[in-house]
Homo-oligomer: A and B are copies of this chain.
Amino acid sequence: MAKEANLSNPTLRQCAVDAACGRRAFDILIEGAIILDMVTGRERQADIGLVGALIASVHAPDPQARANKRINADGAYAVPGFIDTHMHIESSMVTAATYSNIALTKGVTSVVWDPHELANVVGVAGVDHALEEARSARLRILPLAPTCVPSAPGYEFSGGDFDSVVLSDLLKRDMIHGAAELMTMQPLLAGEKRVTDIVNAGLASGKRVCGHGRGLAGRDLAAYAAAGIETDHELTSAEDLIARLEAGMTVELRGSHEHLLPAFAKALLELGQLPQTVTLCTDDVFADDLLHKGALDRVMRILIREGLPVDWVYRAATLNAASRIRRPDLGLIAPGKRADIVLLSDLIDVRVQTVFTDGALAVDNGKLLAPDQSVPCPAALLKTVKTERFTPQDFEVVAQGNEAKIATLSKPRFPQWGERVVAIEGDRLKLPDDMIRMAVVNRHGRHTPVRVAFMENWGTWRGAFATTISHDSHNLTVFGRNPADMAAAANALHSMDGGLAVAKDGEVIASLALPIAGLVSSDPLEKIAEDFTAVRAALDALVDWDPPYLVFKALFGSSLVCNPGPRLSDAGLVDVFEERILESCVLDSYF
């Protein structure tokens, strides 16, 4: 946020004092609102006088108060702007400007952005671009320095390589708010130098050091916190939530795993109070969900629906967040604080009418004023699909003999190692009827072979899906049964400089172009959402999913090497926790 006002400006403060004392007109006076007070939890009628970016006064309604502009907020509720404590803008496939425009209309005025995906594709240039985008957005974007580029060093190859030297350099930049989620859990607990140095660079900066403690419990969780990690959003159960609260961590309840929110709400209700260390985040929101369901406002809506007291939910999204991200100027409607204010027609449904950020009207009765324009995209972020074109042969596994014993990926979402004996036809493995192929190829210029794995329990497929969004290295990843379909889908991405494509019978039947780093499009959100919905629908028609674990979204995380279990990466079949790397899935051949 380039335009964030300096609240230590003496003239600004003097004008605010003068206005509060009645010696000067307020710049803006919001009249008639009911404040939901984040400190007391109570509602009260009060008018809010703004001077520049400051809230100068919050006072009982006073028709005598002078103001250059009066906002009639009769019957509306006033709360502080919402703060999303952990998210990746790239996950919505949009530019920061596009995200800013939609988020503001939802009442979100601040987000803590980890540009982890951009960094994993184009390295420091990705972070630089994120800073440039943050600087130009009206949304208050607090960018973090990604700590896991790649997130499983040695087990995957991404487009960047951030060691502690790179990270220290990033952390020196004023705009960088802290060190982003530390996903390299096992190496950290094992005391490995690279990641330990990275965490220590974060601590030395004096800025926040954020976490990703997937699956950690007991002494592992203690060790993770002892290392200096402050936060976590990777909770998968109420037990996880309580364990992290007891470990003194700031919890970021996330909307991307909506099915867990009821359990979290229940656990908090049982506590009988909202700990000040509970905040809310979105983490990842697909473009269509962002457009149709919302951003952080959606997380709030769900938690209210699940029975959390309304003031708890708003407090988690405002005051708690502000305290934990060390921004005492945010999170309250009170004199001396920064004027990020949301007016709502309905607290339960989080129905946002009007939004002020930094003292300026940003959304007026649902209408976004002066939308942000995307900043020009530097060349480094374009043409990032650095592969050759593909042939069906690229998706075959070559083997000798009659049969082969192979290592398989046996479950989606929570993958396990499997083994299977499969037939060999000619010089290649024959895919059993109940399995599908997954293929990953480095797209960051390494020119390594396409890695192919066979997967069990991934449903029935009648086509192929290719994506350059593939956490966390975002190598080109293809799923399907038929090598011809897979090649068609992959070649579509090659042509589009990245994105998503669905192919059937050798033809591409749906696609979304994401030419910025293979992750993002500068098209309008509506267009991206529409194409994304079409891609999802096309694939849904070709695949019989087996919910709840196996869903479309699972495809994007199936290469998330840093998490427990076997994964396919551009290095082969790998397992960080077992320290295992197989370049080919073939374990043994029988003649």
Contacts and interface: CB of A to CB of B under 8 A. Distances in A.
A41 B268 CA distance: 12
Interface in A477-517: none
A226 interface: yes
A60 to B, nearest CB: 8
A22 interface: yes
B42 A271 contact: yes
A407 to B, nearest CB: 29
Interface residues of A, number: 71
Contact of A16 (B44, B227, B248, B249): B227
A200 B40 contact: no
Contacts of A582: none
B219 A57 contact: yes
A262 interface: no
B323 A226 contact: no
Interface stretch (A138-146, A188-196, A450-458): A188-196
Contact of A21 (B13, B220, B229, B320): B220
A534 interface: no
Contacts of A17: 188-189, 191, 223, 226-227
A192 to B, nearest CB: 11
A152 interface: no
A199 to B, nearest CB: 7
| Among A7, A10, A272: residue with most chain B CB under 10 A | A10
10 contacts: A13-B200, A13-B227, A16-B227, A17-B189, A17-B191, A20-B226, A56-B226, A57-B226, A226-B336, A248-B335
Interface of A: 7-8, 10, 13-14, 16-22, 37, 39-42, 44, 51, 54-60, 188-189, 191, 196-197, 199-200, 203-204, 206, 218-223, 225-230, 242, 245-249, 271-273, 275-277, 319-320, 323, 326, 328, 332-337
Given A20-B222, A58-B246, A246-B334, 5 more contacts: A7-B203, A17-B189, A17-B191, A225-B334, A276-B323
